[in-house]
Amino acid sequence: DAKTTQPPSMDCAEGRAANLPCNHSTISGNEYVYWYRQIHSQGPQYIIHGLKNNETNEMASLIITEDRKSSTLILPHATLRDTAVYYCIVRVRGSQGNLIFGKGTKLSVKP
């Protein structure tokens, strides 16, 4: 079973920041938080991952709480193309093991 809890759906206005929360209260010390998204009719796509420090790349920012029990994915300026299901996954970094997906959060970006 997935080790994360996410809200089933969220809305965001185009151009505004989208903040997607994730709870992972049972995360282990060697597990990273990964975020993937799945646009309609496509396979999941990697977004970002982190251990305990905040991370930023060209797609998004990841904020992890100090106790590592929750995190927030931030899309700073959401566009219509960001409408997708976002999955938060905990996984041992570098592991060749599979990703265990939950149901994710369906983000709808509205004009």
| Residues near another protein, by CB under 8 A | 2, 34, 41-46, 49, 87, 91, 93-104
How near is the Cβ of 93 to another protein at its closest, in Å? 6
47 or 75, CB closer to another protein? 47
What DSSP state is assigned to residue 74?
A: E
Contacts within 8 Å (CB) and 24+ apart, 47-56: 47/73, 47/86, 48/73, 49/93, 51/93
78 or 85, CB closer to another protein? 85
Task: Judge contact between 25 and 69, C-beta under 8 A.
Answer: yes
How near is the Cβ of 103 to another protein at its closest, in Å? 6
